[in-house]
């Protein structure tokens, strides 16, 4: 089972989507999605990033926002 990972590239304003198998240190790139192509996903991942960068990140809030990102990306894929 693999886990989707999300990041923002602020220079290109794209979401970077990758995956990693549970327990693995290997990360495999999936795709880059421009903000203009999917603004909802971009904003969701941006919010996830803000939560992660908070001085005292809230793990429960991070997990909940990650689930939102997973769901938004899943809807995109079909």
Q: pLDDT of 35-71, one tens digit each?
A: 999 999 999 999 999 999 999 999 999 999 999 999 9
> What would the pLDDT profile of 17-41 be if each residue is shown by its tens digit?
999 998 899 999 999 999 999 999 9
Report the length, in residues, of the chain: 78
Q: Do 30 and 19 touch, CB atoms closer than 8 A?
A: yes
Residue 53, pLDDT score:
95
pLDDT band with cut points at 50, 70 and 90 for residue 7: very high
Instruction: Report domain extents, the chain.
Output: 2-77
Q: Do 69 and 45 touch, CB atoms closer than 8 A?
A: yes
Q: What is the pTM of this model?
A: 0.91
Residue 1 has pLDDT above 80, yes or no: no
Residue the block writes with tokens 């904003």: 43
């Amino acid at each position: 089972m693999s886990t989707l990972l999300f990041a923002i590239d602020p220079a290109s304003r794209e979401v970077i989507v990758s995956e990693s198998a549970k327990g693995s240190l290997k990360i495999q790139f999936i795709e880059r999605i421009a903000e203009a192509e999917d603004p909802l996903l971009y904003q969701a991942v941006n919010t996830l990033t803000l939560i992660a960068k908070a001085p005292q990140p809230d793990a429960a809030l991070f997990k909940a926002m990650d689930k939102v990102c997973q769901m938004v990306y899943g809807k995109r894929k079909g």
